[in-house]
Structure 1
Amino acid sequence: MTRYVAGLFVRDAVILFGVVCVLLWLVNCLRSFDVVAVKGQDLLTLALQALLTMPPLALTFAYVCIGIGVARALQALQNNRELHIIHTSHGLGSLWRAAAIVAAGGMIFVLLLSNFVEPMANRRVNLLQTSIAADLVSSTLKPKRFTQVTPGVVLLIGGRSGNGEITDFFADDRRDPRTERTYIASSARVARDGDNYMLELRDGSLQYTESTGQFSQISFARYDLSVERLTQTPEDNFRFREQDSLSAVNEALQSAQWTPELRADLLERQAPALSVLGICLLMVAVLGFPNGRRSRFTVPMEALVMLLAFAERGVSSYSPWGPATGGIVLIVAALLIILMRARPRAPGKVVPA
């Protein structure tokens, strides 16, 4: 019985998760189509970049798919009267074990995504974007035409010689609202050091414009600019985004430096597991008990799960106690509903004929 019910829970969740993944991957391909149209890359690079941006999105909707899978399976058991049989034939333990197996499997899945897969994907996508930007500067960038490398960064070159030397290099970086940087050089060349790409700027200047309007300029004979610096947004410079949790914890233990940012990000990575547990418990609490009521209007359980997920995200985003607040609220609500519905009730009075 446990295997049968768990199979029902998992089947719908896996099918829905796969469909949503494919749809979002196609949407990411369409959003990143400038990689092919403007930056001169092939379709394989486009598909890879879209795939590497999937883990954060998968974390967002994974627990929603699990909740919908559990809800649809319980609703099917209710409609087929199998849920009544489970309760009357002392099979309630199998129902709870099946829910526990699905919840545990979902928690392990999202923890692997948040702690290991997402950091690896962030590292790979940053390397890919750096490679695309280096290729754009060295061979694809059209002379005397402004081209956006990444939102907020615009490049312009005067020309390109046969040996890859760039003349009249100009780059404007406005990603940081506090400081605008402008790089101007009479010549430039792209060099590679392992996985890192460098722009060797010669005979130029670096100009800073502060938010207060203060202007500064530094002249140089040679300036080595990391291409990665032109592709990453300022908040992406925190190295923990590209580091898995195990490596981050080992490094913090060795250096004895547990920064508030590190602790906050570690807790944020564990929060999706609580959301999975909460949505599973809540669906079993709401739909795991049979009833004989017939209603003219039935609320789709998928809509209920989406509404709960929206509320959970709102609570987690605005709560001063951190991103795990929404999952904890779901767990507490589920336990209260289970206690109310499972409490013993006094038998009804028998009315004599």
Structure 2
Amino acid sequence: MRRLTSYLTRLFASDALILFGIVCFLLWLVNCLRSFDVVSVKGQGFGTLALQALYTMPPLALSFFYICVGIGVVRALTALQTSHELHIIHTSRGVSGLWRAAIVTCAGAVAMVLILAHMIEPLANRQLNRLSAEVAADLVSSTLKPNRFTQVTPGVILLIGGRADGGVITEFFADDRRDPETRRTYIAASARVVSVGEDYVLELRDGALQYTEADGRYSEIRFSRYDVSVESLAQQVAQIDVLSETDSFALITRALDTGWEPGLVKRLLDRSAEGLRVLGLVLLVVAVAGFPSGNRMRFRLPLEALVMLVAFGERGISAYSPLGTGTGAFALIIAGAAILAVRLWPRRPLAAVTP
């Protein structure tokens, strides 16, 4: 790698990584504050709190990683513009080094975001679900106070009458309102938490399962024994998304064995779209800020703010487009390529004016 390419790559990457590290740390602190009920209500220590906040970071990191890369590149280009180094690069035929540095930075960022989307995020989701189940199992088996309503997760409230020998819970009650269409109520004379491999099961005995539909219909199922997965009670949603905690390699293996289901294909495409976002934003930033300018304006919008606005618009387009989550990324790529083509288009020299 030539010296100019190496120098520019270090500028682009260092600014992006520093900003990404700062944002990650701040968001981790915010997640710790939001999950502080784990310590205060559910009887867990700071280690559980910190680990739970860490497992929630990958989805958030995917949301702002490409923004950090875009801001890092635009800050480096703005600094080169201010110091007139960008002018020297263009006048001394060093533009190829600028393009190579942008390509290397973009390729490294795309590789990082694909690893984060296809491997790290599913692993973090799986570990978070397991940790939530362990916290819920500990809450039910030992921490939950008798005759006191306790919220395990938003929408799920537990109540026990007391505890007996052998970890048996007397007069168990659980109210599940996570599903807006159906309210489920578990009532049992006794209950016990049992470990089955790496999972936890709540054994309910001599009770009833009551369903209340949104239209007012009511049904009841009485049982002598009913097993409930503790993980299902610990989730913020009523149904567990299995695909979200399965890495892409396992999804591809599953698809080759059982067929390419539409939901599975959509999940793989959504994860791959994160790499297109990085490519589109870097291309647009280089097209806008990669050329020297001598224009002076009283008020000038910071390019960092422009990157934020563009990223916000891209997220909006991707969220509401019927074509999929990659629509906004393709729009960025097209816009960046168009601006770059206009700025690189050869212009005819002006004719000399003689007096």
TM-score by length of 1: 0.98
Q: 1:131 aligns with which of 110, 134, 145?
A: 134
Which residue, out of 208, 216, 220, partners 2:211? 208
Query: Secondary structure, in 3 states, of the residue corresponding to 1:69?
Result: helix
Structure 1 residue 3 corresponds to structure 2 residue 6: yes
- Of 136, 139, 143, the residue aligned with 1:140 is 143
Are 2:73 and 1:107 aligned? no
Residue 327 of structure 1: aligned partner: 329
Q: Is structure 2 residue 61 aligned with structure 1 residue 48?
A: no
How far did residue 163 of structure 1 move?
Answer: 2.5
Q: Quick one: distance in 2 between partners of 1:182 and 1:91?
A: 70
Q: Output aligned runs, 1:7-156, within 5 Å.
A: 7-156=10-159
Aligned residue type for 2:37:
D
Q: Secondary structure at the match of 1:352?
A: coil
Aligned to 1:299: 301
Question: What is the alpha-carbon distance in structure 2 between the residues aligned to residue 100 and residue 39 of structure 1?
Answer: 49
CA deviation vs aligned residue, 1:75-118 (integer Å, no higher than 9, x gap) = 11111111111111111111001000111111111111111000
Whether 1:227 aligns to 2:221 is no
Q: In the alignment, what sits opposite 1:284?
A: 286
Q: TM-score if structure 2 supplies the norm length?
A: 0.97
- Please tell me whether the aligned partners of residues 179 and 238 of structure 2 are also in contact (alpha carbons under 8 angstroms): no
Name the residue aligned to 2:270: 268
- Alignment partners' CA distance in 1, 2:183 and 2:297: 62
Farther off after superposition, 161-170 or 318-327:
161-170
Shift of 1:10: 0.5
Deviation per CA, 1:39-84: give whole Å up to 9, x if none.
0000000000000000000000000000000000001111111111
Percent of pairs identical after alignment? 60
**C-alpha distance in 1, partners of 2:119/2:57?**
14
Unaligned runs of 5+ in 1: none
Q: Which residue of 2 aligns with 1:350?
A: 352
1:162 shift after superposition: 3.8
For residues 159-204 of structure 1, the C-alpha deviation after alignment (integer angstroms, 9 at most, x for no partner) is 1124211100000111111111110001111110111111111111
What does 1:298-317 correspond to in 2, within 5 Å? Answer: 298-317=300-319
Q: How far apart in 2 are the matches of 1:48 and 1:328?
A: 36
- Structure 1 pair 235/141, CA: closer, same or farther in 2 (3 Å)? closer
Q: 1:144 aligns to what SS in structure 2?
A: coil
The alpha carbon displacement at 1:263 in A equals 1.2
Please state whether the residue corresponding to 1:262 is helix, strand or coil: helix
**Aligned residue number for residue 183 of structure 2:** 180
Letter of the structure 2 residue corresponding to residue 342 of structure 1? L
SS in 2 for 1:284: helix
Contact 2:185 2:209 in 1 (8 A): yes
**Mean Cα deviation higher: 30-39 or 194-203:** 194-203
Taking the aligned partners of 2:220 and 2:294, their CA distance within structure 1 comes to 78
Coordinate RMSD, CA, aligned: 1.0
What SS does structure 1 have at the residue aligned with 2:158?
strand
Residue 42 to residue 202, structure 1, CA distance change in 2 (3 Å): same
1:68 maps to amino acid: I
2:163 matched residue in structure 1? 160
**Residues 16-46 of structure 1, C-alpha deviation per residue, up to 9 Å, x if partnerless?**
0000000000000000000000000000000
1:156 is aligned with what amino acid?
L
